[in-house]
Amino acid sequence: MLKKVVLTNIYTSKSTEVVVDTDDDTKAVLGAGKAPNESALVTDIGGLDEAIYRLTGKKPGLDEAVTLFSGMARCLERNISTIKSLELMAARLKTPRFRGAVADISHHILSGDKLSDCFAMHPDLFTSDIVALLHAGEESGQIAAVFKQIAHGQGKSQKILRKLRAGMIYPCIVVVLALAVVIIMAFTLIPAISKLYISMNATLPMATKILMAFSDILLKQPWMAAIPIIGLMTFFKYWPKIYRKPLVQVAITHMPTVGNIVRKSAAMVSFRTLALLLHANVRIATALEIARLLFVD
């Protein structure tokens, strides 16, 4: 559930609104990063408003994770308590999901749970390798160093992902334009050409026959032109889930150029994870198992 927290400075009466993804008002105040000189008013966001906010609001990403872990490392290096560090970091986070997760982690730590176990309660934000690193840091007493290592690794992953996304912009534009051109041709050019070819009784290639059949379908049922567009939008939206399928991953690794990039990226992630785990004194067998789980749905 989304909760809106209005923080008001008791001296200046200046107010700011913060949205936290949690089911408890106390956690909402904690996730909003309330300062001692502020008052908090919590209200629920439900129904259509919640659906719209979740659809249009900012989604959690690696940039938020880097902010959280690097900030926690700096706070712990200055001997600030874990709870206080989480409270300070809650004020710097931007997405409701991360704010809610930090508030929930703080709540469970106050209840006596281990830090690594608290992070493990949010697998959508913190993967198994991160949890293992935190557990190793707790055991070795180097939790601040582990937070710094995680932030460093997440930062490198973020830079690589930005380059990959930038490289995919051109292919995506080409696909979208190609689809638009085919649909426009199906309504305008192909019907005229079809009449010409039919009058000539010419033998047509299979590709031309497919285009003509596609044009005929759209002319009789124009609403079907929306199906490819909706399909393409759905594909891009659910691509992360589609990519997790083993058959899809195998197919992508065998594609020219793209497959080579994916294989190198996977190797980079696995070796970096192994380095971080081994540096945090995790056993080799456990580190290899965690690295394997990174690529298993």
Domain boundary among 56, 78, 95: 56
pLDDT for residue 16: 86
In angstroms, rounded to a whole number, what is the distance separating the alpha carbons of residues 123 and 296? 14
In angstroms, rounded to a whole number, what is the distance separating the alpha carbons of residues 287 and 146? 15
Residue 294 lies in a domain: no
| Per-block mean pLDDT, blocks of 10 residues, the chain (297 long) | 85 86 85 84 83 79 86 88 87 87 89 87 83 77 81 76 74 83 82 76 77 82 82 77 74 76 74 73 74 59
What is the DSSP pairing of strand 38-45 with strand 15-21? unpaired
Cα–Cα distances in angstroms (integers) from residue 31 to residues 9, 22, 168, 265, 284, in the given order = 17, 9, 35, 34, 37
Residue 126 lies in a domain: yes
In angstroms, rounded to a whole number, what is the distance separating the alpha carbons of residues 258 and 241? 18
Beta bridge partners of 165: none
pLDDT for residue 111: 85
Phi, psi torsion values for 248, nearest 5 degrees? -65, -40
Residue 139 lies in a domain: yes
CATH assignment at residue 103: 1.20.81.30
Phi, psi torsion values for 156, nearest 5 degrees? -65, -40
Hey, what are 224's tokens?
A: 């079907």
Residue 97 CB burial class (10 angstroms; 0-12, 13-18, ≥19): buried
* Same domain, yes or no: 22 and 69: no
Residue 171 lies in a domain: no
Q: Measuring CA to CA, which residue among 108, 111, 112, 131 is closest to residue 120?
A: 131
Phi, psi torsion values for 80, nearest 5 degrees? -80, 140
* Residue range(s) defining the domain that contains residue 129: 62-151
Residue 243 lies in a domain: no
Query: Do the beta carbons of residue 137 and residue 143 sit within 8 Å?
Result: yes
Q: Measuring CA to CA, which residue among 135, 154, 181, 140 is closest to residue 71?
A: 154
Domain boundary among 56, 72, 91: 56
Query: Do the beta carbons of residue 64 and residue 124 sit within 8 Å?
Result: no
Hey, what are 248's tokens?
A: 């899809």
pLDDT for residue 297: 47
Residue 170 lies in a domain: no
Q: What is the pTM of this model?
A: 0.68
Residue 125 lies in a domain: yes
Phi, psi torsion values for 19, nearest 5 degrees? -110, 130
Residue 81 lies in a domain: yes
pLDDT for residue 28: 86
Q: Measuring CA to CA, which residue among 295, 296, 287, 297 is closest to residue 131?
A: 287
- Say how many residues make up the chain: 297
